[in-house]
Amino acid sequence: MTETRERGCFCGCGENAEVGRWFIQGHDVTAAAALRAVEELRLPRQLVAAGFGPEHSVVEAAVREAGWVRCPGCAYVGPSAHHTCTDASAGDQSPSSPEPGLDQEHELALPGPATALLAESGAAQGRLLPGAADPTWETVPLHLRQQLRRPAQELVSPARGPLAARENRRLLSAVRAAAGMRMTGAHWLLLLTTGRKTFGSPHSQRAQALYAALEQVAVQHAAPAEDEVADPVVRHS
């Protein structure tokens, strides 16, 4: 149906735009610039609320926990899929420290990013998980990621209980990635090897729904350890 009435200009100036338009001519440019200015003011507060700032870089956290790369050849920092540098010195983007894929009580020795990992706890306990760089993580069925999305969104809006603790910041980041369905292998490893109680109280239906979905992922994407190797390398802290 064709609009026949004027509407207020969406920049909030109080005047009416022409029929069929959202803005008075030129006011869209002003509104866009104003919105950018407001968002820039909000961003520092959002970073502080998430525990980041001058002394705790959100960019370095993305490199460590979300699969971002830092290229020595072109100074690019961001998702590896967007990196196009051809400098030979940028070929090795493997992290200098083990991938975060384990809960607070233990970690595995990681000979390489694609090496299978034995889960000692969490939804995948007793199973071998593909390494963080394994392409298997890109094939997790959509319906499982959607099952994770709803409880993950509710768990982080806002984060409560153990999940909100400072020492669980990496786990919180992984749950947020699940809420946005932007999962990396490192996120999957961390979620699948974290104990149930860290996600929420025993009575939390949202935490249980998320954990149940993780158990389904483990069943479909990991094999029982005895079926694969007899003596995986494990290092306890």
CA distances from 74 to 7, 62, 83, 87, 90 (A): 48, 18, 10, 8, 8
pLDDT at 230: 43
Tell me, what amino acid is at 170? R
DSSP type of residue 176: H
What are the beta bridge partners of residue 53? Answer: 56
Residue bearing the bigger pLDDT, 145 or 194? 194
Percent of the chain at pLDDT exceeding 70: 77
pLDDT at 104: 36
Mean of per-residue pLDDT scores for the chain: 78
Q: Which tens digits make up the pLDDT trace of 194-237?
A: 999 999 888 888 899 999 999 998 888 776 765 444 444 443 33
- Residues 6+ positions from 36 with CB-CB distance below 8 Å: none
- Whether this prediction's pTM lies above 0.85 is answered by no
- Residues 6+ positions from 50 with CB-CB distance below 8 Å: 58
Q: Which tens digits make up the pLDDT trace of 80-129?
A: 766 666 554 444 444 444 434 333 333 333 334 456 778 889 999 988 88
Please state the φ and ψ torsions of residue 77, each to the nearest 5 degrees.
Answer: -135, 120
pLDDT at 156: 86
Q: Could you tell me the maximum CA-CA distance found in the chain, to the nearest angstrom?
A: 75
Say yes or no to pLDDT of 73 above 60. Answer: yes
Q: What is the distance between the alpha carbons of residues 99 and 110, in angstroms, rounded to a whole number?
A: 8
User: What are the structural domain ranges in the chain?
Assistant: 1-49, 58-90, 107-235
Strand order in the sheet with 127-129: 117-118, 127-129, 223-224
